[in-house]
Amino acid sequence: MFSFENLEVYKRALEFANLIFKITENWSRDYSFNLTDQLRRAALSVALNITEGSARSKAEFKRFLDIARGSCYECVPLIEIATRQNLISEAEREELYAELNEIAMMLNGLKRSLQ
């Protein structure tokens, strides 16, 4: 097992990406080359940056955690647009926002622990 696999924030980020893939699975092909792909890439980027950063120095890991947090933020307008396009419900939007907020706070906490 790799050390990053023990990080709770990594596990949550992986679950979030998996949830996004499930939610977007049946979206119309009209959205597949823009909204769907961009949302999937942003969601996946959170876990990938945690992973890649964990193999680097502390300073670099902190930078990768900032990038992962930025990917959380990138998901926000994409989810909002999906809501406005009636691809997800208001309840789903709130659930996704809450999870993104929690992951972002966990990333901040992990970064502080590296000080």
What's at 5, amino acid-wise? E
Residue 17: CATH number of its domain: 1.20.1440.60
Q: Is residue 29 part of a domain?
A: no
Query: Is residue 68 within 8 Å of 50, Cβ to Cβ?
Result: yes
Range of the domain at 9: 3-21+34-113
Closest CA to 88 of 113, 99, 5: 99
1 pLDDT band, cuts 50/70/90, is confident
Distance from C-alpha of 14 to C-alpha of 29, rounded to nearest angstrom: 24
Q: What is the model's pTM?
A: 0.94
Q: What is the pLDDT of residues 30-45, one digit of tens each?
A: 877 799 999 999 999 9
